[in-house]
Structure 1
Amino acid sequence: MKILHTGDWHLGKKLHETEFEEDHKLFFEELFNIIVNNSIDVLVVSGDIFDFSNPPRSAEKLYYSFLLKLKDTCCKNIIITAGNHDGIQSLEAPKEILKLLNVDIIGTLTDSYNDQVIEINDNKGNLKFIVAAVPFLRDKDLLKVNEGRTYHDRTEEVRQGIINHYSELAEQITHKYGKDVPILATGHLFVAGVEEKSDAVRDIQVGNLAGIKSSSFPERFGYIALGHIHRQQKLQGHSNMWYCGSPLPLSFTEKNYEHSVLVTTLNSEGVFEQPKKITIPTYRKLITINDSLQNVLSELRSLDNEKHNNYLIEAIITQENSDLDIPYQMSKISEELKYIKLVKYRTNITGKKELRKEDVPDLDEFTPDIIFNSLIRSENIEEEQIEIIKDLFKKAEELSNQESAE
């Protein structure tokens, strides 16, 4: 049997007000073709289906349309577990209806381990393997009431709670089905030692401090399908443990990631093979330009042609001195661009000076003027611009005083 492992879709995602709906539509078309062309039997989605707990209607429509489209294909089992971005109620609300489409939704822990145990049978009804469908384990599910405990105690309790949950689940399945039935486990969590630089990934489970070692997971699991980390990677310390990664670049820090889905095969010996990567095409290229203002403007105009249609650009303006003209020029160029889109820009002024100790007044001497003038002296700002800035500050201060008097 073939199992496709994916996750971290983040439907409804926006990148600085730029929507990804069209990207997700194209991704689902590609995913559908992969499932059909590779005769996928089981689809496993390891969390973060949506980008936030109350997704827009357009994102939900895209999600349900895709699941409905799979109904008459070779993929007869779909297992979806919640991630930290997903709203439990919104994800689980249609679970009984989706069950009619062979879709199992696991949004949260219940009192019974059986609710996380899903049997996968072949076309003749023979049991082939078990999915230990574990959703994102929230701190409230793992922490006990214990007044006076330290932050370190909380972290250790969460970490041990995760380890205990997977160990107990493995034991429960083995006790019920025997030691020879293969198990595929899911998870949406942070594992210590992973490689990740994305700024689109939120810290979870006590700020990621409760990340556990991959060797802490039971070897009874033949394949561990993880979500949460957007860079696809295999983890050391377990024979077959993978983060599937996000299928789309969801931030500029992910622009050079490998975006694909993973396909593992349960062979005739009951072993999950090392997965094969199937690349997902990047429909919109994310580019970062880092240069002086004039060079950034020049590069943007150079890229703005039909060949680069739908490129998303992040501009970093790096120069020694600040420039009051930057906001105006960047706003102006954004309106001029026809084919590419300037999503965001930021400045990196390299000529900052350290404040001297003698320049800093005593705390009881601080006034808005002193603070402002100290800030001005810490920047390499040209003299003619300093007077403009001071004048604007004085006007703002006057307006503030007028409002306070009223």
Structure 2
Amino acid sequence: MKILHTSDWHIGQRLYGNDRHNEHRMFFDWLLQFIRAEQVDVLLVCGDIFDMAYPSNQALRSYYQLLREISETSCRQVIITGGNHDSVGTLEAPREVLQVLNVTIVAGAPDNQQDEIIELRDKAGNLQAVVGAVPFLRDRDIRIPAAGESSNERIEAVRQGILKHYRRLADLMLPYREQNIPQIVTGHLYMQGSRLSESERDLQLGNQAGVSAAAFPAAFDYYALGHIHCPQTISTSPVVEYCGSPLPLSFSEQHDTKSMRLLTVKNGKLSHQKIPIPLFREIKSIKGSFAEISRQISNYECPSPLPAWLEVCIEEQHTDPGLLRAADDFVEQINNENENLRIIRHTVTFTDRTLPSYLTGDDQRTLDELRETEVFDQLLDQHNIIDKDELKRTFDELLEIVHQSDNERKEMSHDK
């Protein structure tokens, strides 16, 4: 039996306002081709199917079209778990219909944890493996708030709540372990030691409640994780793998080799291998003086089938107000004259530190480009706050409450 582990599709994502539908379609076409060529039996998608809780009609059409196309391949089962970007209601709404296509949705933590256990059987009906389909665990799923608890107490309560959920699942799956049936468990979480990019939204309390891999139950053979966009191995015993996102979701991921994991069950043993994903569109950040940037772009050769998207960071020592206009004209000219690349973001920075920051352009990101935590950090710096740690922890708590309340409000409004 062959099982494919993928995650963090982020269908509907826009990079600096630029639509990524073509890239997702190319990935889906390649995914279908891979499933057919390798005769994959089961597809696991471990959270963040969509980029927004309430995706566009185009994003939904892409998702449903792919699931229909997968049903026409060798893949007999698709298991989808919710991520922190996903709305439980959006994923679960078509659950009954999708079961006809052998698609199982576990969007949020079920009332009965037994419902997370999904058996994987071959064509002859023989049990080959079992999956513990754990979605992103929201605060309300794993703990009961206590009046007067400190930030550190809440962090520890969240951490212990996550571990308790997995330990309880390990107990429920004990009968399979006694039969030596390979066990796979999913997750959408931040594990301590993971390498982050700029595009992951912070999870429990700004990732402070991340748990060490060593603390998770060793009973599972393979942890199929989502949330972290850079593919990486966290542990080899038990195996803990982030497969990463199939597309680079920010310029900080430009050097990642995107991948999936292919698991094979043979004679009761589980093995796995990394499967590289082709580059459909290069996203690249280039830095230097105006002259250096011009030279780099003149010599640039696009390695991807779709035109590259560039971030251009012009750095000059001395302030030249005329350079700002010249940079705008340069970007417009490049975008009009080149078919194999497009500059989607550019900045001009002057490094002369004798000038005020609004002239040197130390941080030209817009408010939309900054994370909430970065805005708060800047406010702390502006007010010369020395003891920041406790304030940051409190802000992380408030931010999580706001995000969860906003999602719940949207789901209630959507249901109406």
| TM-score range relative to shorter protein | 0.7 to 0.9
CA contact (8 A) 1:215 1:237 kept: no
C-alpha deviation, 1:121, in angstroms: 1.2
| Distance (whole Å) between structure 2 residues aligned to residue 376 and residue 105 of structure 1 | 50
| Distance (whole Å) between structure 2 residues aligned to residue 210 and residue 348 of structure 1 | 37
CA contact (8 A) 1:214 1:236 kept: yes
Distance 1:121 1:91, change over 3 A: same
C-alpha deviation, 1:320, in angstroms: 1.4
Q: How does 1:8-157 map to 2 (within 5 A)?
A: 8-157=8-157
| Distance (whole Å) between structure 2 residues aligned to residue 230 and residue 259 of structure 1 | 9
Partner AA of 1:271 in structure 2: K
**Secondary structure, in 3 states, of the residue corresponding to 1:235?**
strand
Distance 1:205 1:304, change over 3 A: same
Match of 2:259 in 1: 260
Match of 2:270 in 1: 272
| Distance (whole Å) between structure 2 residues aligned to residue 53 and residue 245 of structure 1 | 20
| Distance (whole Å) between structure 1 residues aligned to residue 357 and residue 109 of structure 2 | 55
Distance 1:218 1:351, change over 3 A: same
| Distance (whole Å) between structure 2 residues aligned to residue 68 and residue 77 of structure 1 | 12
| Distance (whole Å) between structure 1 residues aligned to residue 103 and residue 163 of structure 2 | 27
| Distance (whole Å) between structure 1 residues aligned to residue 357 and residue 248 of structure 2 | 38
CA contact (8 A) 2:259 2:276 kept: yes
Percent of residue pairs bearing the same amino acid type: 36
Q: 1:281 aligns with which of 260, 270, 278?
A: 278
CA contact (8 A) 1:222 1:271 kept: no
TM-score (norm. length: structure 1) = 0.83
How far does the alpha carbon of each residue in 1:149-197 deviate from its partner, in whole angstroms, 9 at most, with x for none?
Answer: 001011000111111100100101215774522211000000001122x
| Distance (whole Å) between structure 1 residues aligned to residue 39 and residue 294 of structure 2 | 49
Partner AA of 2:181 in structure 1: V
| Distance (whole Å) between structure 2 residues aligned to residue 117 and residue 56 of structure 1 | 31
C-alpha deviation, 1:309, in angstroms: 6.2
Two-structure CA RMSD over aligned residues (Å): 2.2
How far does the alpha carbon of each residue in 1:331-385 deviate from its partner, in whole angstroms, 9 at most, with x for none?
Answer: 22232223211111123332213xxxxxxxxxxxxxxxxxxxx9489969xxxxx
Q: How does 1:161-180 map to 2 (within 5 A)?
A: 161-175=161-175, 178=178, 180=180
Distance 1:244 1:308, change over 3 A: closer
CA contact (8 A) 2:235 2:241 kept: no
| Distance (whole Å) between structure 1 residues aligned to residue 165 and residue 357 of structure 2 | 56
CA contact (8 A) 1:320 1:350 kept: yes
Match of 1:401 in 2: none
How far does the alpha carbon of each residue in 1:276-312 deviate from its partner, in whole angstroms, 9 at most, with x for none?
Answer: 2222111111221111123324433443889996111
| Distance (whole Å) between structure 1 residues aligned to residue 129 and residue 306 of structure 2 | 46
Match of 1:311 in 2: 308
Count of residues in correspondence between the two structures? 357
Match of 2:232 in 1: 233
Where does structure 1 lack aligned partners over 5 or more consecutive residues? 354-373, 381-406
